[in-house]
């Protein structure tokens, strides 16, 4: 079985994996920074108290995740990106645009917020999981644990948002 690593020496493969790791860490860091800057704007739009609580908890958790990622940058002897990357930022911007389009209907707006927050959390869970696997291969010490903490926190956020969604949909359908 031929793998891509067979084309590289050990050092070249490690350097390539490190570049991949940092590039994708930059992407998730930029998305988290953009998200934490914009999530407070949703507080004024939300009708549902559980969703409002969920947004507050998400902001707190994202701030912790960003702090851990800054430790990772330090451990890797590099710095977070000064400019935001476009990739995941585009998903977040699209979410905020869709939410604004539902401004006249509080129920649809709250559902839109829940929909996009869950999508964003799913991307984050997958990203942290893959970065964790790469960190193991890179033998980066504490970096793997920090990514595991972010991964576990993102999974908890996803579960919280799913519970809020289920409760919201149930209460919305009961009122009809």
65-100 pLDDT tens trace: 999 999 999 999 999 988 776 767 777 788 778 888
Alpha helices in 3-141 (DSSP H): 10-43, 49-75, 87-101, 106-138
Q: Is residue 60 part of a domain?
A: yes
Is 4 part of a structural domain of the chain? no
Classify residue 94: in a domain, yes or no. Answer: yes
CB neighbour class for 97 (10 Å; exposed up to 12, middle 13-18, buried from 19): exposed
Burial pattern 4-25, b for ≥16 Cβ within 10 A else e, equals eeeeeeeeebeeebbeebbebb
Classify residue 90: in a domain, yes or no: yes
Question: How far apart are the C-alpha atoms of 106 and 79, rounded to whole Å?
Answer: 41
DSSP letter assigned to residue 4: G
* Mean pLDDT (whole number) for 31-51: 88
Task: Please report whether residue 15 resides in a domain.
Answer: yes
- pLDDT at res. 170: 87
- The confidence score (pLDDT) of residue 97 equals 84
The pLDDT of residue 83 is: 76
Residue 1 belongs to some domain of the structure: no
Mean pLDDT on 94-123:
85
Domain assignment present for 142: yes
Task: Indicate the number of domains in the chain.
Answer: 1
Q: Which of 2-11, 49-58, 113-122, 166-175 has the lowest mean pLDDT?
A: 2-11
pLDDT of 140-151, one tens digit each?
Answer: 889 999 999 999
CATH of the domain at 96: 1.20.1260.10
Q: How many CB atoms lie within 10 A of CB 2?
A: 6
Tell me the CB-side half-sphere exposure of residue 32, using CA atoms within 13 A. Answer: 27
Q: Is the pLDDT of residue 51 over 60?
A: yes
Mean pLDDT score, 148-173? 90
Instruction: Judge whether 3 lies within some domain.
Output: no
Q: Average pLDDT of 8-29?
A: 87
Its domain, for residue 90, covers: 10-170
pLDDT for position 7: 54
- Could you tell me the pTM of the whole model? 0.84
Instruction: List the structure tokens of 146.
Output: 């920090």
């Amino acid at each position: 079985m031929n793998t891509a690593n067979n084309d590289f020496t050990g050092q070249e493969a490690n350097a390539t994996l490190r570049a991949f790791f940092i590039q994708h860490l930059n992407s998730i860091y930029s998305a988290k920074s953009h998200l934490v800057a914009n999530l407070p704007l949703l507080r004024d739009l939300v009708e549902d108290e559980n969703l409002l609580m969920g947004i507050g908890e998400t902001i707190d958790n994202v701030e912790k995740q960003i702090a851990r990622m800054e430790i990772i940058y330090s451990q890797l002897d590099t710095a977070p990106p000064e400019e935001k990357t476009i990739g995941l930022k585009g998903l977040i911007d699209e979410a905020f645009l869709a939410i604004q389009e539902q401004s006249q209907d509080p129920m649809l707006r709250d559902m839109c917020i829940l929909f996009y927050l869950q999508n964003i959390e799913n991307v984050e869970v997958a990203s942290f999981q893959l970065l964790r696997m790469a960190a193991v291969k890179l033998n980066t010490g504490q970096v793997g644990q920090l990514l595991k903490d972010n991964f576990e926190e993102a999974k908890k956020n996803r579960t919280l948002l799913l519970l809020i969604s289920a409760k919201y949909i149930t209460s919305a359908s009961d009122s009809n």
